[in-house]
């Protein structure tokens, strides 16, 4: 037996040393659970991806904030919905957190954020999926993590990273305490202990990100858009509704239907109410042909899921000059967008009694 053990003595010693070192790091530094991840990339001589930073900061700030209402989705909600405006319409005791980020988080990422928040906070009663009809569910935003969104190499879908780094059952084993110091270690190696780059620099020296850091805790996750203004034509809406072959039903199915049904099951699992919110658009209903399939999917889903709230139509046209870019309402009109959702949520809460 001792001869057998001797063959593995060095491995046993290394494992024991590893455990002792990680225990020491934990006892001395008490690193934040949400810093012990591989969520950020820390690539050499490259800025951190702003979308990942937005998501990480929101998770760290709000994961244990005990909200009653949580919103997730694309940038239409990130820049459009100010929780302070919404909660002004709600009964006392209701609190709202805006976890929305960006299209390249993907519908899997929106889902994972809602799942994370509901798992961490038993107070959650409403899960809001907020997105614009300009970024409807499709393969790369639902089942293809890592895909280059819109064909842009630097805009990759990363929604599964939320699950892997913050929710996976393997997280407790793989995300050891020393992982919280990954940036300090990589910086000192990459830049020779500060010789070629400041060690105390912000993760991203970007005006938009720095403004986000300054205000997002006070605004409960919202910040105003700072887009370069575009002139949007009020043309007929063309809403993409790609399909796939669903082996469970042995029939063709739209990604929109699959996403909505998955979110409905998520809300039910957390004993919460799903609220699906479509952002207003500058395009018009027109003949209706460009959005007919998507509107039928939403109507069928609403009929089959009376437990889900869908307070607005898929196509609600606002004047084109109220938008900075197709997906974003100008910050001058944030109050209108917030009041729209606030009034709807007030009616929903009143009707449901909680």
Cα–Cα separations (whole angstroms), residue 112 to 55, 107, 166, 208: 11, 9, 9, 25
For range 268-284, the mean pLDDT: 98
Higher-pLDDT residue of 286 and 21 is 286
Mean pLDDT of 153-169: 86
Q: Which residues contact 151 (CB under 8 A, 6 or more apart)?
A: none
| Assessment of whether the complete model's pTM goes beyond 0.75 | yes
How far apart are alpha carbons 62 and 121 in whole angstroms?
Answer: 10
Confidence of residue 30 (pLDDT cuts 50, 70, 90): low
Scanning 239-333, the segments in alpha helix (DSSP H) are: 255-269, 292-304
Kindly report, residue by residue over 56-71, the tens digit of the pLDDT. 999 999 999 999 999 9
Which two structure tokens, joined as six digits, stand for 275? Answer: 């609220």
Q: What is the pLDDT of residues 165-216, one digit of tens each?
A: 898 887 766 666 666 666 666 766 666 666 656 666 777 888 999 999 999 9
Position 45 confidence tier, pLDDT thresholds 50, 70, 90: low
Across residues 97-106, what is the average pLDDT? 96
CB atoms within 10 A of CB 247: 7
Per the model's pLDDT, the better-predicted residue between 217 and 251 turns out to be 217
Specify the range with the lowest mean pLDDT, choosing from 99-113, 194-208, 225-239, 277-291.
194-208
Query: Is pLDDT above 90 for 9?
Result: no
**pLDDT for 265:** 98
- Neighbouring CB atoms inside 10 A of 243's CB total 15
Residue 249 confidence class, pLDDT cut points 50, 70, 90? confident
């Amino acid at each position: 037996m001792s001869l057998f053990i001797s063959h593995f003595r060095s491995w046993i010693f290394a494992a024991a040393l590893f455990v002792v070192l990680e225990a020491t790091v934990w006892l001395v530094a008490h690193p934040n659970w949400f810093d012990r991840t591989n969520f950020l990339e820390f690539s050499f001589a490259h800025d951190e991806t702003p979308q990942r930073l937005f998501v990480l900061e929101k998770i760290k700030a709000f994961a244990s904030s005990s909200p009653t209402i949580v919103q997730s989705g694309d940038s239409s909600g990130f820049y459009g919905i100010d929780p302070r405006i919404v909660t002004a319409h709600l009964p006392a005791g209701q609190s709202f957190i805006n976890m929305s980020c960006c299209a390249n988080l993907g519908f899997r990422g929106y889902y994972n954020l809602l799942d994370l928040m509901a798992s961490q906070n038993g107070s959650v009663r409403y899960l809001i999926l907020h997105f614009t009809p300009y970024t409807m569910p499709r393969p790369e935003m639902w089942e293809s993590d890592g895909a280059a969104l819109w064909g842009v190499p630097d805009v990759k879908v990363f929604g599964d990273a939320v699950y892997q780094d913050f929710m996976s059952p393997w997280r407790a084993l793989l995300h050891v305490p020393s992982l919280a110091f990954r940036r300090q270690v990589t910086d000192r190696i990459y830049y020779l202990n500060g010789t070629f780059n400041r060690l105390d620099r912000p993760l991203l020296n970007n005006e938009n990100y720095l403004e986000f850091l300054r205000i997002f805790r006070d605004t409960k996750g919202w910040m105003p858009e700072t887009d370069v203004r575009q002139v949007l034509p009020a043309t007929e809406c063309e809403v993409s509704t790609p399909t796939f072959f669903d082996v469970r039903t042995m029939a063709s199915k739209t990604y929109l239907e699959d996403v909505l049904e998955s979110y409905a099951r998520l809300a039910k699992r957390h004993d919460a109410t799903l609220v699906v919110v479509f952002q207003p658009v500058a395009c018009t209903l027109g003949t209706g042909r460009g959005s007919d399939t998507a509107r039928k999917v939403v109507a069928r889903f609403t009929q089959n899921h009376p437990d889900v709230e869908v307070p607005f139509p898929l196509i609600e046209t606002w004047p084109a000059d109220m938008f900075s870019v197709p997906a974003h309402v100008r910050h001058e009109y944030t109050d209108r967008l917030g009041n729209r959702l606030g009034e709807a949520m007030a009616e929903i809460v009143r009707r449901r009694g909680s």
